[in-house]
Each structure stands twice: as C-alpha cells, then as structure tokens.
Amino acid sequence: MTKQLLLSLIVMISSLGLTAQVVVNSDITANTTWTNNNIYLLQGGCLYVRNSATLTIEPGTLIKGDAAALIVLRGSKIIAEGTPERPIVFTSSKPAGQRNPGDWGGLLLMGKAPINVPGGETTVEGGCSEALYGGTDPNDNSGTLRYVRIEFAGIPFQPNNELNSLTLGGVGAGTVIEHVQTSYGGDDAFEWFGGTVNGKWLVTYRTVDDMFDTDFGYSGKNQWLLGISDPAIADVSGSNGFESDNDGQGTSNEPKTNAHFSNVTILGPMQPGGPAINSNFKRALHIRRCSFQDIFNSAFTGFPVGLKLESTCTIDGFTTSGDVEFKNNILAGMTTNIEPADAAVQTQFNNLGNSTLAAVEDLALTNPFDFGGNPGFRPDAGSPLLGGADFSSPTLQDAFFTATAYRGAFGNTDWTDCWTEWDPINADYEGGSINYGLNPGITFTVNGGTVTFTGSTQGAVAYAWDFGDGTVSGNENPVHTYTAAGPFVVTLTVTSARGCTATATKTVDGVVATNEIEGLRGLKVFPNPFHSGTSVEFSLKNQMMLDVQLVDVTGRVVSLATQEFNAGMNRLEIDGSSLSAGVYFLRLVSAEGQTTVRLSVLR
C-alpha cells in the first residue's frame, strides 16, 4: 500500500468517525501509551510488558483479546486509570452475541513481593513461561488498575493450570487495585498467588470457577467485594465463592496464606425463583490446605454449602489459635451452613457473632438479580445488613479499612453504578472509546416571576432540579414561579439508566417581581406548614374580583377559583386534605397584578 493510499484510508476513517484498530502482537519493551481514540487488538499468545517499561492506558480505552494474554513482568508497570464514566475495558474480540468465557487469556501482574514457594519465586500457571513472580519487597509496585473491566478472559490450558481473568502473582502493596470488574471468566475471577497487594471495590460476575482464590502466602487486605454466580455455569473442579490454599500440597510453608477481607457480598447460584443450578457449584467459602483467612462483616448466599473448613491446621486456626477469623458474617439460603458438622466449629461460629438465615430474600437487598437493567445491591429498610458490623478486631484497626455500620458490600450507596456492565455478551463496543458521561445543560425563559426551564439531556432517565430558593422538582422541563427577584443559582442533576450522574448549574437573573395588588395588605397564612387545611387572611382597600390559584413546584395549577372580595378584611379556607406533601404557592391575581405566598403541606 502506498503512503498516499494509506493517508487516504486514515482520512476516510477519520471522516467517517470510526475508531482505528491497532494490532498488538509483540512485547512492549519501552514506555507506551494506549489512547482512547484507538481500539487495541491483542494477538499472539503471551504478550509481555518487560524491560521496566510502563504501559499507560487512557480512560475510556477499549482493548480486545484474541487468544492472547497481557502479562506485566516484574519491574514493569501498568497504569490503567479509568473513571466511572470512562472505564477501561478489556474484552473479547468477538462481536456482540458471540462472546464466551475464555475467549482470551486475561491480564496478569507479576511482582516482587514474598510468596511461600521454596526458592521464593516461580512461574505462574497458565502456560506463559516467562511470567516469573515472587521476591522480597512487600511494597513492590506493579502499577494501578482503577475503574477497569476484564471480560471473557481466562483460558484453562489443562486442569489446575489455567489463566484467570485477573492473575496477581507476588504483587506488592505499592500496587493500586480499585473498582475492577471481571465478567464471564473462563476460570477464576481474581486469583492471588502470594504477595501483599490490597484491593477495594472488586466485582466478579458469572465466572466459571472460583470468584476469589488465594494461594501461596497471599496476605493482602481487601474491602467492598461483590461476587455473583451464573446458576448454569460452573467448573468441573468445583466452583466456590472463596477458595483458599496455603499451597497445592497443604504444607505449612511461610508466609502463610492469610488474607484479610471485610464487607463482602457473595450472591451464589441458588437465586429466588431461579433455575436449577449446575451440580459443580460447591461452597460459598472453602478454606483448606493449612491456609488461614480473615473475613469480617460480610454476607454469603445461595450455595450448597456455606462455610467449609478443611485440614487440621485450618480448623485449629478457627477453633483454637484464632488465626482464622470469621466474624460478624451472615450465611443465607444455604443447603448446609457449615462443614464439618463439628461442635467446636459450630460453637466458635456462634461465639464470633455469625448467624444464618433460611432464605436469600431474608437479606432484603433492593433488586440484586435484575441483570436486564441496573441491579441494586443496597439493603432495604429492615435488612439485617444495615447493622451488626464490628471493626474492633486488631486486624481491622489497620488504616486501610474504613469502619462501617453495615455488613456486606453496600450501605446507602451503590458503588457499582455507572462503570460496571451487566450484559457484556451483548454490549455495543463498535464505537470504540467507552464514554458513559452525560452532558446536562440548562436553558430558560423568564416571564415576570415565572421561569420555564429546559433540561433535556441525552441518556438521562431522571432529573433533579434545585431552583435556588429552597424548592425542587423532578420534572424534565419544569415551570417555576419565584416569589422574589433573585438572582438564583439553579442546579440540575441528571441520572442515566446505568446510574451515572452529572450536574449543571446556571444563574437565573432577570426575574421580575410581579406587580403587587394595590390596596391588598396584611396577607397572613396560619397554620403554615399545615396538614389538612389552613386559613388565609388579607385586607382590601376596595372591593375587587380575584383569581385564587394554588400552584405546585412544577408550575402546575392544582386548583383555580374566581371570587369577588369585599373591601376590608377577608378570609379564605384552603382544603389541603387531598394534596401530597410538599411546597405549593397560593397566588391572588387581579387585573393589575398578583401576590404570592408559599405554603408547605405535611403528611
């Protein structure tokens, strides 16, 4: 292809508004930036970031995998910092509707933090022979993953030798991992092979094997984790919420696998009204092979077995030494709550503030299984998750953890809003760059004291106006009457179906105070606020005809009457029994002007 033809092709792509595709089929050996105006296609098996290079990925960048894996070797870094509106997405190269677990290899970070393998380093499982991990630096830094999605990754080369969606081998505590979602992984979602890296706001959705797998001496800290099963998808090896091993043989090698978790919500395959589950689903938590695990203030639902402790040293760690801390947790809707059925295990389970519930619904989550839209994971009023958290354990006194009153991953805020994706199989990635942002604007026209606002915003499904005078509206394009001249700072907050929000403000000036009715004096309302009714008194200098208008905050006239009033004192009775709670305005309108008073209805 000639340079002129190539240039013409680039110009054509630009003029058509298409995103260029960049094929990555060789190692990254120097500092490199992937920009969000390109789509990056990974090909060629194991692709390494090596030679102490840093790969920087812009917010909103789309990376597609085609039977390849991206491995960040020891000493190199990945800086992938997305935003809620512009997450960085690693996904399948296949078109919408044809994507499946294991379409590509996944993302692997190799670090220099301690592991418990003899010799202190080893090659990660999965077939990428240069992916060595382990070392002596617990604060090693492999980069940043923030607002990142990893979809359809994880290739099982052979049993117990697989690539995961996100593999963390000997990754150190200098690395940042926050707001990361894995979906439809072909093996485990998150697997830590030793290391000390910490994490917050992690989501795993419909992975084939285990949600959170800890091995080889992993000892990091994690808070706010969500795991969701697909009832039909499970691995022949047995799929669990948590799986923990000290190593594959169950030795007592040091450092011990002893990770620390708080505020976890695991939604297992047995869902209310759901289908029969895959028989390979096993346990919400399987702590075994001489590993220790600390889990606090969390909720686990819908597995054949809730908590299974296996191996003598793990069980002793729970019942005797305190090396396994499982405190203030809830198991809901399990067929069997605890294994082994041992009196000492059950007694310790109860003594540590744990409890069981018969059904998943007993947790009273908002709408956790609505994956056709935007599911909600917050606890409703009356949920046992709204209280009961306890951060008094010395483990949780670490500055990493934030104390909460609630248990599970959510309080009043759903941190999965906006950046996550609940239907990645059918997600439209043809446009390339990921941008869920809203762009609200405020326009208005003023007619005396009445202002007509327009806030229509593409992609918005909810509107919240603050008119700057203490009144609000949920209308898209409200009409509002001011009782003073202003100026007023008006704020509009819009929300999309994904839960993304954006705000615009504008100063409204030029509001003209309407002419007062000449000769009207002493306007009083009592009581105000009121419940069922209130009285309005005023005096007139002359007899006159007045329109009596009751208007809500959107400008809608709720009631209208025309009446002749006498000179002197007059009294009106306002019946509010049929009115909803809120702010209203009573207008008295004559041919020459109007007078407005604000009313508040209580319920």
Instruction: Determine the average pLDDT of the residues in 81-99.
Output: 98
Residue 577's φ and ψ, nearest 5 degrees, are -65, -30
Higher-confidence position of 526 and 4 = 526
Share of the chain above pLDDT 90, in %: 82
- Beta strands in 458-542, from DSSP E residues, in sequence order: 460-466, 472-473, 479-481, 488-496, 501-508, 520-526, 533-540
Distance of CA 222 to the CA centre of its chain: 16
What is the model's pLDDT at position 485?
Answer: 67
Q: According to the model, what pLDDT value does residue 110 have? A: 99
Contacts 24+ apart (CB under 8 A), 443-450: 444/490, 444/506, 444/508, 446/508, 446/510, 446/511, 446/512, 448/511, 448/512, 448/514, 449/481, 449/482, 449/483, 449/511, 449/512, 449/513, 449/514, 449/596, 450/479, 450/480, 450/481, 450/482, 450/555
How does pLDDT run across 197-234, given as a tens digit for each residue?
Answer: 999 999 999 999 999 999 999 999 999 999 999 999 99
Q: Provide the sign of the torsion angle of the four alpha carbons 294, 300, 303, 306, taken in this order.
A: positive
Q: Are 40 and 60 in contact (CB under 8 A)?
A: no
For the stretch 4-40, pLDDT in tens is 333 333 333 443 456 799 999 999 999 999 999 999 9
Q: Would the CATH topology of 443-508 be identical to that of 520-601?
A: yes
- Domain residue extents for the chain: 1-208+417-436, 443-508, 520-601
Token output for 39: 């789509």
**Residue 300 clears pLDDT 50, i.e. is over it:** yes
What is the reported pTM? 0.84
Pick the CATH number of 443-508 from 3.90.1150.200, 3.30.230.10, 2.60.40.10, 3.40.50.300: 2.60.40.10
CATH 2.60.40.2550 fits 520-601, yes or no: yes
| Half-sphere CA count of 276, side-chain side, radius 13 A | 1
* Interval 81-105 mean pLDDT: 98
Instruction: Quote the tokens at residue 263.
Output: 């505020």
Lowest-pLDDT range of 12-26, 247-261, 265-279, 370-384: 12-26
